[in-house]
Structure 1
Amino acid sequence: NSLPALYAAWAVLGASMAMTLYEPAFNVLTKRFPQRYLQGITALTLVGGFASTLSFPASAGLLALFQWCGALAAIGGVLIFAVAPLHAWALRGPPQRPAAPAAHARVNGKDDEEADGRADGKADDATLQQALREPSFWLLTATFTLYSFAAAALWAHMMPAFMAKGRSEAQALAVVVWFGPAQVAGRLAYVGFGRWVSSRKLGLTVLGGLPASLAIFALADQTAALLVFAALFGVANGLVTIVRGGLVPEYFGREHVGRISGAMSGISLLARAAAPLATAWLLLAVQGYREMLLVLSVVGLAALVAFAFAKPPRR
């Protein structure tokens, strides 16, 4: 019942989210299942997409039954008594080791330890310091920072943008509700066809979806066009998670994936936090939400350009 307690609760919640959401989960999957990490990331994001789609009606039902305090207690109980034991069960035992070819048991008289390192694929894996010297690291960081900024700004100002188009809250929700199904549909399509598409090619396609969807939202007034915006943004937002999770080990190896992806995501988180306020300032300089969305579309296009120049480093 006090403001300091509220701030403390949110601080603990934020720290917990930083250790349990997609980024750290991707790192755990990559380290524990090195031969199947991309399949694991795809499966995790697919289930996560279903969960986020179902969470809104589930939360509404809990609020109707127990009010906000009881609803939070119920959600906390699920986390403590269901999610935490599942984590402990799924992460039992040591991580899997990459398959080591027999030919690497002894190479040019090198000792067994060095040969094992090469067989595990660790010799070619970049450290954080090495990654920081690669242009591709900074280009990928710029890519996902710009993407996070534009997406966070859109989420923060989406309802006012709908109101500026003369749409009611109910009409806006009738469009926004399609984000979740579109995310799931995009990830399901990737499950079926992803084996034939590299993370880089997928990224070039997916990252084009953000500027295109923002431009459609800025210029469209018809319901059909707004539904196209929802579908395109949902698919792009769903698949960019897979791209981000797969590219770091693909570009820099698996051994130090946590440190490298953590350095990337830290900058992106700052951009995501600053986006709502920065966009509010932008609204003071432009005529309205249409112009703001077009500026965000240009930001998304810049993310695509940065990604196009982020070639895999030679190791």
Structure 2
Amino acid sequence: MREARNAISLATISALGLTQIIGYGTLYYSFSILAPGMAKDLGVTLEQVFGVFSVSLFVGGLSAPVIGKQMDRVGAATVLTLGSLLSALTLALCAWSPSVAVFALAIVLLEISSGMVQYQAAFAALVESDPRTAPRSITYLTLIGGFASTIFWPISAALMDYLSWREIYLMFAALNLFVCMPLHFWMMRKGKAAIASGTIRERERVIGAIPPEARRGAMVVVSSAFAILGFTLASILAHMVPMLGNLGLGTASVVIGSLFGPAQILSRLINMIFGTRLSPPVLAVISAALMVTGIVILGVSGSWLPGAVAFAVCLGLGSGINSIAQGSLPLYLFGSDGYGAITGKMAAARLALGAAAPFVFAIAMEQIGIGLSLFATAALGTVGMAAFISVAMSTKRSLVAAG
């Protein structure tokens, strides 16, 4: 029975891993590569394109709590399935858009669908399946999902030599419709069949480390920390390859940017092997420290190639651990009951603040230069790191008092 359950879990993680690569690659990472073509085709500035993207992130943040509640109500796999269909439709709408207004609407809908198919929903599906093993499954999933940027940044850049951004988005729509949706539908059917046959065991609840009377304050601090680090990371990722090019790294920019993905994978692999003794709050602190360090290195080194490589590696290492913390820290602190709604609220805070990140960072680079923009972003990330440190210390005190 245990071997069969492990095989099912492996199949689920593998399916989700593939859909996360496609979901993040087509709906997020490709945007910075395709944005210049979008701006030229639509007759607007690049800053205006990123402004639309920022608005879509804000709307996506507003929709996150609703999506989280629906995951608790109808199941995460059902939300994933519907999200894949909506992703395909909105990508096709983007490709067809005859005007800036239609394009803007499509991008907003695209960000809502992203919240239905990316890590928030995937983590909830793993927690629903087995709360006790969910932290380990989340690590495995993020290990696979880390390939998204490595695969889709070069692919998007290469396709731009042969296809328009509209044709590329049609290809991406097909991937979501014919690859992601069937896999999510299979997960949905598998879960319903297990419930109907009575073979699914009673799930073991996970009790959070934070006592009920302290949950509200902890939610505010943790949500704020993730939001600040999300703003920091979104600022850099949205402009990473073009920014490296503007620093004077030329054609090496795409190669350097592609190191971000392997570094994410490496951090998750290291955590999977050696990080089992580290609590989620400690992992969150480490992730923030790595991201801040990477940004500072790039600000100091400028066009120096080894510095740019170190920046991409540190940022990737920190981002990789941060993705794990986004799934495991809420489960560790607040437990498995209402996990979808809890992570939905956290995603809302993260996306609401991160909504302005691509636009603000683009304006900052234009007004004060890349170097000062990087240092300002690193300073903001340090605030998020301090918030995670306070959570780690308060959690440790709570566990000592309870023990």
Identify the TM-score tier after normalising by the shorter chain: 0.7 to 0.9
CA distance in 1: counterparts of 2:167 and 2:358, whole angstroms: 30
- Distance in 1, matches of 2:202 and 2:286, equals 30
Contact 1:131 1:260 (8 Å CA) reproduced: no
- Residues 300 and 69 (structure 1), Cα distance of their counterparts in 2 relative to 1, 3 Å cut: closer
Deviation of the 1:90 alpha carbon? 2.2
Partners of 1:70 and 1:150 lie apart in 2 by 31
Matched, 1:242 2:324: yes
| Secondary structure of residue in 1 paired with 2:379 | helix
1:204, CA displacement in angstroms? 2.1
Q: Does 1:270 align with 2:367?
A: no
Query: What is the root-mean-square deviation in Å for CA atoms of aligned residues?
Result: 2.9
Pick from 193, 200, 205 the counterpart of residue 274 of structure 2: 193
1:82–1:132 distance in 2 versus 1, CA, 3 Å: farther
Cα deviation for residue 218 of structure 1 reads 0.8
Q: How does 1:281-292 map to 2 (within 5 A)?
A: 282=364, 287-292=368-373
Q: Distance in 1 between matches of 2:329 and 2:337?
A: 14
Structure 1 counterpart of 2:78: none
Question: Contact between 2:132 and 2:205, CA under 8 Å: does it hold in 1?
Answer: no
Matched-pair contact (CA < 8 Å) for 2:264–2:317: yes
Structure 1 residue 281: Cα displacement: 5.5
| AA at the equivalent of 1:179 | F
Q: Give the 3-state SS of the residue equivalent to 1:295 in structure 2.
A: helix
Cα 1:67–1:143 change in 2 (3 A) is: same
Alignment of 1:203-222 (within 5 A): 203-221=284-302, 222=304
What do residues 249-302 of structure 1 show as CA deviations (whole Å, max 9, x unaligned)?
1100111111111111101101111123334555687x5322221121111111
Relative to structure 2, which stretch is displaced further, 36-45 or 69-78?
A: 69-78
Q: CA deviation at 1:5?
A: 3.0
> 1-side partners of 2:244 and 2:262: how far apart?
20
Distance 2:375 2:296 in 1: 6
Give me the whole-angstrom Cα distance separating, in 2, the residues matched to 1:39 and 1:214.
Answer: 29
In structure 2, what is the equivalent of residue 257 of structure 1?
339
Alpha-carbon distance change, 194 to 90 in structure 1, aligned in 2, over 3 angstroms: farther
Q: Which residue of the partner structure matches residue 169 of structure 2?
A: 72
1:11 and 1:279 map into 2 onto residues whose CA distance is 20
| 1:121 equivalent in alignment to 2:219 | no
Alpha carbons 1:153, 1:275 under 8 Å: kept: yes
Matches within 5 A, 1:31-180: 31-60=128-157, 67-91=164-188, 92-94=190-192, 97=201, 120-121=204-205, 133-158=215-240, 161-162=243-244, 165=247, 167-180=248-261
Partner of residue 303 from structure 1, selected from 375, 379, 384: 384
Structure-2 separation of matches of 1:289 and 1:4: 31
Q: 1:309 to 1:51 in 2, by over 3 A?
A: same
**Residue matched to 2:64:** none
Larger helix share, 1 or 2: 2
Q: Identify the range of structure 1 (198-207 vs 50-59) with the bigger mean alpha-carbon deviation.
A: 50-59
- Change in Cα spacing, 1:161 to 1:198, as seen in structure 2 (3 Å) is same
SS in 2 for 1:121: coil
TM-score when normalising by structure 2? 0.64
Aligned AA for 2:316?
Answer: G
Query: For residues 379 and 201 of structure 2, what CA distance do their matches in structure 1 show?
Result: 43
Gaps of 5+ in 1: 100-119
Shift of 1:168: 4.0
**Taking structure 1 as reference, are residues 161 and 14 closer, same or farther at Cα in structure 2, changes over 3 Å only?**
closer
1: CA distance between counterparts of 2:214 and 2:340?
14
Over 3 Å counting, the alpha-carbon distance change for 1:125 and 1:238 in structure 2 is closer
Amino acid at match of 1:245: G
Given the superposition, is the C-alpha separation of residues 98 and 151 from structure 1 closer, same or farther in structure 2, using an over 3 Å criterion? same
Unaligned stretches of 5+ residues in structure 2: 1-97
1:105-144 per-position Cα deviation (integer Å, ceiling 9, x unaligned): xxxxxxxxxxxxxxx437x569xxx688532211111111
Q: Which moved more, 1:249-258 or 1:89-98?
A: 89-98
| Equivalent-residue separation in structure 1 for 2:379 and 2:340 (angstroms) | 30
TM-score (norm 1): 0.81
Alignment of 1:293 with 2:377, yes or no, is: no
Contact 2:148 2:261 in 1 (8 A): no
Contact 1:248 1:261 in 2 (8 A): yes
Between the aligned partners of 1:148 and 1:131, the Cα distance in structure 2 is 27
**Residue-by-residue CA offset, 1:172-192 (whole Å, 9 max, x unaligned):** 333222111111111222222
Deviates more, 1:58-67 or 1:189-198: 58-67
Paired with 1:158 and 1:67, the residues of 2 have a C-alpha distance of 21
